[in-house]
Structure 1
Amino acid sequence: MADWTPLLELGGPLVAGGAGAAYARVKAPRAYWSAIGLPVTAARIAHSYAEVMEACGLAVEPSMWRTLVARGEERQGLKPTPPRVRGVRPTATGLRLRLRLARGQETADVVAAAERLRHAWGVHAAYVSEIRPGVVDLRLVGFDVLRRVRMPRAVRAGHPVRVPVALREDGTVFVRDYRTEPHSLILGAGQAGKSTFVRNLVCALAVRPVALVGIDCKRGVEHAPFAPRLSALATDPDAALDVLRALVAEMDARYDLIRAQQGIPGWVPDEQVTADIWGLPATVRPVPVVVVVDEIAELFLVATKADEKRRNEIVTALVRLAQLARAAGIFLDVAGQRFGADLGRGATLLRSQLTARVVHRVNDVETARMGLGDISEQAMAAATQIPPGTPGLAVAGDASGAWSRIRPAHLSLADAARICRNSAHLVPDLPRLDAFRPVAAVPAPRIPPKPTRVPAIP
C-alpha cells in the first residue's frame, strides 16, 4: 500500500495557501495585491519589458551611433530600443512606471498601446498621463478599485475648499477643488448614488472652516441630518428664495470689501491688491460658502402665476451666483435627476456656468448628453453604460474635456449625521444667514410602555 503521508505533508499547505490566496483575491484585494500580485507583476515586467514593448509597437530602431558601435564590435542582432524606465513606484492599488519616450514617440502612442500592455502583464487596467514632453507615467492597476471603495487615510488637501470626495478608477483620489471649478452639476436617476456622493462631499467640507448652505425642497429629508453643521437650510421654494436673496446680499457685501482692498485710496501696497477673497488678509477674509441644492427641478416647477414669479426670482439669483460669486467665495453644487432647457427659462444659462460635472447612472441618453455631451462623447457613452447594481459609480468631467470614472466610499446617513454633529462647533458666524440656520431637534425622552396585566386563566 502506498504511503501518502509525504504527499499530504507537502500538498496540504500548498492547497491551503492556494485557497487562502483565492479567497484574499476576492475578499481582500489590497492585501492580495501587496502580498502576491505586486511581486508577481513586477517580476513579469522585469522579465518581458523589452519584448512586450516591441510587440506593442513602442520600440524604435536603434540610433545610428548604437548601430555603428555594434558594427565596430561585430555584434549581431541589435534589438529595437524601447522607452527607458526612469522610475518604478509600487502603490497600494498598482504599480507606476515613469517612462522616457524613445525618438519619434508621443504620448498618444503609449495611450493606444495601453490595452495591449494590460493584457501582456495581466493587470486590471493601464492608464497613461503625460508629465512633461517626452516623459509619461504608466499607471498599472492590479484590481478593480471601484468595486469596494477604500479611501486613503491621509490625503493632502492644501486648501480649505479642496476636499477629497471619491476614488478614481486608476486608484487616485478625486478631489473637488472649488477654486479651479467653482460650481458643479450632479446628475443621476433615483437610487443611482447621488445622495452618497453629496454625503461624502458635505462631510468632507464639514470638518473645514467653510459655511454650508442646504436647499432641499423634499421637506429637508436629505439635508436635515446635516442640520447641526449647516449655516442655513431651506426646505421649500419660498424659503429657498429667501436664502438665495441673503446669499446675493452677502456676495455684494464681499465685493465691497474686496474693492476697499484694491488700493483705490492709494494706501494699500501693490502686492496686497486683489480681485477675490483669497488675496485679502486673513484677519478680514470672509469664510467660503458652499451651497448644495438637492433636486434643482423643484425650484423650476410652476403651477400658478405666483409660482412663476417666484421661479423667475430664484433662477435670477442662481444665475447671478453662478456668474459672479466665485471671487466672493460662494460656490454652488446643484444636483438633480434631469437638467436642461425643458426646465424653463434660465436653465441653459445656469447649466453653462456649472463647469464640473458628475453624472451617475441615468435613465436615458438625453440626460447624459445634458451633463457630459459638451465635454466628451466618450464620457457621455460611459455614463450610459453604468450598471444598475453599482450605486455611487459615476463619470466625472470638466470643461477641459478630461473625464474619469469615480465612486465615493459608502457612507450611511447615520455616520454623516454623526460627523456633522461632531463638527457643529465649526459653524461660522454669518449674520445674514442667522435667520435661516436650522435648529437641531432634541430627541424626545423615551417613555417605557406600561406593563399590561394579563388576567389569570380560571
Structure 2
Amino acid sequence: MSNTTFVVLALVAVAAALVLRRLRPAWYWLSIGVTLAMVRVVVRYASVMDACGLTVPPSRLRLTLARLARRPAPDPRAPRILRMRPTRTGLVLRLKLQPGQDAFDFAASTDRLRHSFSMHGVASREIKSGVVELRMTGYDVLRRVQMPVSVETTGLRVPVALREDGEVHFRDYREVPHALNLGATLSGKSVYQRNLVKELAPRHVALVGIDCKEGVELAPLARRFSALADNPDDAAELLEALVGRMADIYQVIRREQRISSDTPDAEITADIWGLPEEVRPVPVVLFVDEVAELALFSTTAEKKRRERIVTALVRLVQLGRAAGIYVEICGQRFGAELGDGITMLRAQLTGRVSHRVNDEASAKMAFGDISPDAVLATTQIPVERPGLAVAGDSSGGWVRIRTPFTTLRQAVNTCAAHAHRAPALDGLERFRPALSAPAPAEIPAPGSAPVTA
C-alpha cells in the first residue's frame, strides 16, 4: 500500500469518525470514544490531579527517607484509582482518597476535571468514607434522549427521564410520595405527566385525575383512570371522597394491627404495605393538572369551594402516604399569591421538578426553600430544549433531567391496552369516566363509490 493510499484512508476514517460523532454521538462513544477517553484518563491522571489541587504532600516518613538516601523529594500523592468502568454514556471512576482529602474538594473541582479529561460532564458523589465516585459523560446525553432498552423497576418505582450523568431518573412513590411539577407553556410539563401515566398504566395502581382544562390533558387517557374530574366543582367533591377513602383505609389498618406481646415485629405496620395482600387496598396516584385553576375564585361561592379544595389537598398530602394515596401536582405557578394554605401545601411536597419557567420567582417557588443552585439552573433552561428540567427533593440535592418525548397516541394506546387494570374505588364510582364503545366502521355496499371527506 502506497503512502498516498494510506493517507487517503486515514483521512476518510477521520472524516467518518467526525461525522459519526456529530450525527450519532452514542454510536461514536461506544465504538471509538470510550477507548480514547480511557487512554486520556490513564495518561493525564497524575498531572490533572496535581493541577486541580487534588493531591496531598508526601508524608514525613517519605521525606525523611528521601533525605537520608540523598534523593529528590517525592512527588505529591494523588488519590488511588480503585476501579474504572466504561458505560454506554461515559466512564465511572472510583477513587480512594488520601489522608487529609475531602469529598467536597472533588465536587468543587468537577468543572476543571471536565475540561482536563475532555469529557462532556463530570459529577462527583461520595460512596462511603474515603471513597469518591466520578461519573463522566462522553457526550450530551440530554440532546437526544434515549432510554435504556431494559430498566429494572419494582412496585411504584417508574422510569420517567434521563439524568445528565447518563443514569435513569426514577419516580419512586413509596420513597417520595408527593411531588410538584412546574413549568411554563410548551416547557414539557405535560409530556412529563403523560409519561408518568404511561409508565403507571401497566401496574397495580388506581389512577385518579383532576383536569380543570375541560379534561383536554387527561380525558384521552381516561380508559385507565378510576376517577376523573374536569371542573372545580367535581374536583372538590372528588377530593373530599378521597379524604373519606383515606379515613376508611386507616380503620382497616387499625383493625389488622392487633398488636400483642407475641406479634412478630415484621407484622406490625402503620401503612398499607404491611397488610396482608388479600386485605391490602389498591394504592392511588392522584394527578392534579393546572392546580391554579383550583385556587382561583371571584365570588363568595367560589371562595368557599376553594377552601374545601385546599383543605382536602392539604389533608391528602399530610396523611395520604400511609393510606397509599400519592399526589402529583402540576402547574405553571405555585406560590403564596394563590391564597391561604398554598404554602402549607407546598411544604408537604417532597419531590420537586421544574421545567423552563418565565421568571425567577417561579423557579424560587420550586427550589427557593431547597437549593439556590437549583433555582439558578432552572432559570438557565433554554427554550429550544422542551422536556429539560431540574429535579430535586427536600434534602437539597438536584440534577438536570430530560423526559423522552411521548406522543399522546403512545400514551392513549398504553392506557387502552391496560384499561382492565383500572379498579373501581369505593365511594368514587360516580367519578368514573363514562366511555362509550367505539362506533363500528361503516362498510360500503359492493360496487358503491367510496365516501370521501
Band of TM-score, shorter chain: over 0.9
Conserved in 2, the CA contact under 8 Å of 1:231 and 1:428? yes
Q: Which of 419, 422, 425 is residue 427 of structure 1 equivalent to?
A: 422
- The DSSP-based 3-state class of the residue aligned with 2:140 is coil
| Match among 94, 112, 115 for residue 111 of structure 2 | 115
Partners in 2 of 1:52 and 1:316 — Cα distance?
A: 56
Q: Which residue of 2 aligns with 1:81?
A: 77
> How far does residue 419 in structure 1 lie from its aligned partner after superposition?
1.0
Shift of 1:156: 2.5
Give secondary structure in 2 for the equivalent of 1:439. coil
AA in 1 matched with 2:108:
A
Give, in angstroms, the shift of residue 267 of structure 1: 7.7
Q: Give the superposed CA RMSD.
A: 2.0
- What is the CA–CA distance in structure 2 between the aligned matches of 1:352 and 1:120, rounded to whole Å? 41
Residue matched to 2:34: 38
Aligned length: 448
Matches of 1:136 and 1:285, distance apart in 2:
42
| Separation in structure 2 between the aligned mates of residue 157 and residue 130 of structure 1, nearest angstrom | 24
Please name the residue that 1:456 is paired with. none
Contact 2:48 2:116 in 1 (8 A): yes
Q: Is this contact kept in 1: 2:90–2:137, CA < 8 A?
A: yes
Would the alpha carbon gap of residues 447 and 425 (structure 1) be closer, same or farther in structure 2, given more than 3 Å must change?
closer
| Residue type at the aligned position of 1:139 | R
The 2-side partners of 1:92 and 1:74 are apart by: 49
Residues of 1 paired with 2:411 and 2:371: CA distance? 33
Structure 1 residue 445 displacement after superposition: 4.2
Equivalent-residue separation in structure 2 for 1:433 and 1:306 (angstroms): 24
Match of 1:210 in 2: 205
How many Å apart are 1:303 and its aligned residue?
A: 2.6
Larger mean Cα displacement after TM superposition, 207-216 or 267-276: 267-276
Conservation of the 8 A alpha-carbon contact between 1:169 and 1:405: yes
The correspondence of residues 165-180 of structure 1 with structure 2, limited to 5 A, is 165-180=160-175
Is residue 349 of structure 1 aligned with residue 344 of structure 2?
yes
CA distance in 2, matches of 1:407, 1:173: 10
Q: Deviation string for 1:268-322 (max 9, x for gaps)?
A: 5443111111111222111111001000011112232222221111111111101
Alpha carbons of structure 1 residues 448 and 304: separation in structure 2 relative to 1, 3 Å: farther
Q: How does 1:276-315 map to 2 (within 5 A)?
A: 276-315=271-310
Q: Which amino acid aligns with 2:431?
A: F
> Structure 2 vs 1, CA of residues 423 and 12 (structure 1 numbering), >3 Å: closer, same or farther?
farther
Residue 386 (1) aligns with residue 381 (2): yes
Assess if the C-alpha contact under 8 Å between 1:197 and 1:392 holds in 2: yes
1:138 aligns with 2:127: no
Contact 1:360 1:394 (8 Å CA) reproduced? yes
Pick from 268, 272, 276: which aligns with 1:273? 268
Mapped contact 1:261–1:272 kept (Cα < 8 A): no
Which residue number in structure 1 is paired with residue 48 of structure 2?
52
Distance 1:264 1:55, change over 3 A: closer
Q: Deviations over 1:379-409 (max 9, x none)?
A: 1111111111110111111100101111111
Q: TM-score, normalization: structure 1?
A: 0.93
Unaligned runs of 5+ in 2: none
Are the counterparts in 2 of residues 261 and 268 from structure 1 also a CA contact under 8 Å?
A: no
Q: Distance in 1 between matches of 2:293 and 2:363?
A: 20
Return the offset for 1:24.
1.6
Matches within 5 A, 1:177-188: 177-188=172-183
> Could you tell me which amino acid in structure 1 is paired with residue 256 of structure 2?
Q
Q: Of 226, 230, 234, which residue of structure 2 is paired with 1:235?
A: 230
CA distance in 2, matches of 1:240, 1:404: 33
TM-score normalised to structure 2 length: 0.94
User: Residue 204 of structure 1 aligns to which amino acid in structure 2?
Assistant: E
Q: Which amino acid aligns with 1:193?
A: G
SS at match of 1:175: strand
Report % sequence identity.
52
